[in-house]
Amino acid sequence: MSLRLNSTAPDFTAETTQGTIHFHDWIGEGWAMLFSHPKDFTPVCTTELGYMASIENEFAKRNCKIIGLSVDPVESHLKWEKDIEEIQGVSVNYPMIGDPTLAIAKLYDMLPEEEPNTSEGRTAATNQTVRSVFVIGPDKKIKLQLTYPMTTGRNFHEILRVLDSMQLTAAHKVATPANWKNGEDVIIVPAVSNEEAQEKYPQGWKTVKPYLRLVSQPSK
């Protein structure tokens, strides 16, 4: 069955660069981002993993752990980390999952079921669908999923933006408009009545249309 938004994130046990983890236990009570890359020692992935290391603290501020994955073994990740540090000037301090049997890639629908059951001989091209992002909430449900082409590095600031939006929704029953940035006005969702909104936002809001009410962003 395909994974969808609000599907329970499949649990698994895996070897990582920081030891064995049980995924749901590792997530704990906060948020988590699982992001995969096609192959170690490839150019786009090297820039991504290094940049993620440089902004890991931004995810930590949002109570969100990060963990990487590729179909390479853990030993390969550990060697590659040295290149990432040399090129990007930052150490990778988050765990990276080794998935040489493709078990987790298949569990998360990153590869077709008919793919071979080993990573041996595979190239970045044959792994190109494994450039995915899953953001998982404290309830262990999938809140965001994205898959990028092999040749396009991800914009992790966009993922932070979406994480900010989702956390505001969880806390305050608000939505965010197109191109919203943290700190800008948000939308009171239609399910919130004017009476309930008055209790939550006594300072008032701007009614553009009855279904479009803008209010200053509440604090998380």
7-16, 132-141, 147-156, 201-210 — which is least confidently predicted?
147-156
Residue 163 lies in a domain: no
Look at strands 206-209 and 186-188 and give their pairing: unpaired
Q: Which residues pair with 32 in a beta bridge?
A: 65, 136
CATH number at residue 46: 3.40.30.10
Based on the fold, state whether residues 41 and 110 are members of the same structural domain: yes
Q: Which residues pair with 144 in a beta bridge?
A: 135
Based on the fold, state whether residues 32 and 96 are members of the same structural domain: yes
Based on the fold, state whether residues 107 and 205 are members of the same structural domain: no
Q: Rounded to an integer, what distance in angstroms lies between the CA atom of residue 200 and that of residue 143?
A: 25
Based on the fold, state whether residues 118 and 148 are members of the same structural domain: yes
pLDDT band at 114 (very low <50, low <70, confident <90, very high): low
Active site residues: 45
Taking all residues of the chain, what is their mean pLDDT, rounded to a whole number?
A: 92
For 156-201, how does the pLDDT look when each residue is reduced to its tens digit (9 = 90+)?
999 999 999 999 999 999 999 999 999 999 999 999 999 999 999 9
Residue 207 lies in a domain: yes
Q: Rounded to an integer, what distance in angstroms lies between the CA atom of residue 167 and that of residue 219?
A: 10
Question: What region does 109 belong to: left with phi over 0, alpha with psi -120 to 50, or beta?
Answer: left
Residue 148 has pLDDT above 70, yes or no: yes
Based on the fold, state whether residues 145 and 195 are members of the same structural domain: no
pLDDT confidence of residue 149: 86
Q: Rounded to an integer, what distance in angstroms lies between the CA atom of residue 72 and that of residue 74?
A: 7
pLDDT confidence of residue 117: 64
Residue 119 has pLDDT above 70, yes or no: no
Average pLDDT over residues 25-34: 98
pLDDT confidence of residue 129: 66
Based on the fold, state whether residues 117 and 194 are members of the same structural domain: no
pLDDT confidence of residue 112: 64
Residue 85 has pLDDT above 70, yes or no: yes
Residue 162 lies in a domain: no
Average pLDDT over residues 21-43: 96
Average pLDDT over residues 127-147: 91
Helix axes 156-172, 43-54, angle to 10 degrees: 50
Based on the fold, state whether residues 146 and 211 are members of the same structural domain: no
Q: Rounded to an integer, what distance in angstroms lies between the CA atom of residue 111 and that of residue 130?
A: 7
CA distances, 43 to each of 25, 102, 130, 207 (Å): 32, 22, 15, 48
Length of the chain: 220
Structural domain total, the chain: 2
Residue 126 has pLDDT above 80, yes or no: no
Query: pTM of this prediction?
Result: 0.90
Residue 188 lies in a domain: yes
Based on the fold, state whether residues 119 and 203 are members of the same structural domain: no
Domain that holds residue 198: 173-215
Residue 69 lies in a domain: yes
Based on the fold, state whether residues 211 and 107 are members of the same structural domain: no
